[in-house]
Structure 1
Amino acid sequence: MNILIVFNHPYEGSYCNSLLNAVQKGLQLASHTTDLIHLDREQFNPVMSAQDLRAFRDRKPVDCQVINYQERLQNADHLIFIFPIWWELMPALMKGFIDKVIFPGLAYDYSNASNTRMKPLLKNIKGVTVITTMNTPGFIYRWFFGNAIQRALIRGTFWKLGYKNRKWISFNRVKMVSQEKREEWLQKLEKQFSRL
């Protein structure tokens, strides 16, 4: 399988980077082909400009990075997104990727001009996995903050795009758990992706 990983964390020493390494090791063990979009290293511009909005309306992207990313989406069998949850949401680069790259005419179209029902176009993509870190306990994130990532991405964007195989893996209270626990999570994640 061809796996496209979209990664967003600016700090090389972050736990998200450790998760990325574990995922890549697991995928390598399973002999999958991987393609990494590292939004921070590639200095992706998440801002939707007036020119970008016109391109969105006209279904003809003008940003060279967006065009490149869209070509890579067309070659993927599975998508993996890895990012931290900051202030209950994804960082700006990841949100900008969703806004600017999940484009009408490439990722979806509308069934007809009179409604907003989406028709998925990226039929090659068989599944999406979202992997996040946060310091908030999971039950507080769900019950007090409304489970924003679940609602926005898993039951929002990726459900609208027609992906039935959607999964969210969340590592919570990352700063509070022991190093031993973090290592255990990494080993389990590597094993999980070696079976994908």
Structure 2
Amino acid sequence: MAKRILIIQGHPDGSTPHLCHALSEAYAQGARSAGHVVETIDVGQLDFPLLRSKSDWDKGTLPQSLMASQLAIKSAEHLVFFFPLWLGGMPALLKGFMEQVMRPAVGLFVDGGTRPGRPLSGRSARIVITMGMPASLYRWYFRAHSLKALKRSILGFVGVAPVRDTLIGAVEAMDAGRRAQWMERMHDLGRRAA
């Protein structure tokens, strides 16, 4: 059964393609080949302000530049995030994007922001993170804290489940053969909307 898939490309440098872009494109190609409907948001191409106050968080209006993104998140059945690990977490631009589109009146509450709820229930997600360190080091020594924060404190909080992950480590040492294996894996995940 075809799904509506939203890819959120979280690499903040939208001026030049990176590994995250190639991975997300492989995922999108696999998904389209299986008949899924795919939309992509490239956060690095968006222009939006960061939230700077509790008042903005609680009552501010969503910037015009993010309205299509909010609608895409609400209409997707499966969300896929791609981003590099920077300073142990998601890049600040992606975090700022998530803060904007997931604030109370937008994502954390239902009935127009009047009561707590899980407005994104029924959606699934996959998080793909690239990093310089070995993925096992990030997962076991550093306890994958930023991955857990995105899974539990953001996506889980608004009802997205299940949330699966793919960690791709030692990217600076990646040779052409290993890169091709990852592209094939992303293509397969996209085909299965997993």
Q: Same fold (TM over 0.5)?
A: yes
Q: Which runs of 4+ in 1 moved over 4 A?
A: none
Please say if 1:101 is aligned against 2:106: no
**SS of match in other structure, 2:147:** helix
The equivalent residue for 1:119 is 117
- Contact map agreement 1:85 1:91 (CA 8 A) in 2: yes
1:54-93 matches, cutoff 5 A: 54-58=55-59, 61-93=61-93
Deviation at 1:118, TM superposition (A): 4.9
Deviation at 1:64, TM superposition (A): 1.0
- Given that 2:10 and 2:94 are in contact with CA atoms closer than 8 Å, whether structure 1 keeps it comes out as yes
1:146 corresponds to 2:126 = no
* Superposition CA RMSD, Å: 2.1
Number of equivalenced pairs: 185
Structure 2 length normalisation: TM-score?
0.86
Change in Cα spacing, 1:92 to 1:185, as seen in structure 2 (3 Å) is same
Q: Which residue of 2 aligns with 1:113?
A: none
Of 150-159 and 101-110, the range deviating more from structure 2: 101-110
AA aligned opposite 1:20: S
Report the AA paired with residue 120 of structure 1: R
Which of 6, 9, 25 is equivalent to 1:7? 9
SS of the residue corresponding to residue 150 of structure 1 reads: helix
Whether 2:45 is the aligned partner of 1:48: answer no
Residue 188 of structure 2: SS of its match in structure 1? Answer: helix
> 13, 17, 20: which one pairs with 1:16?
20
Q: Unaligned 5+ residue runs, structure 2?
A: none
2-structure distance, mates of 1:118, 1:131: 29
- Unaligned runs of at least 5 residues, structure 1: 111-116
Report the AA paired with residue 144 of structure 1. Y
**Following TM superposition, by how much is the alpha carbon of 1:160 offset from its aligned partner in structure 2, in angstroms?**
1.7
CA contact (8 A) 2:107 2:119 kept: yes
Q: Output the TM-score relative to the length of structure 1.
A: 0.85
> What residue is the counterpart of 2:160 in the other structure?
163
Secondary structure in 2 matching 1:4: strand
Contact 2:47 2:65 in 1 (8 A): no
Deviation at 1:55, TM superposition (A): 4.1
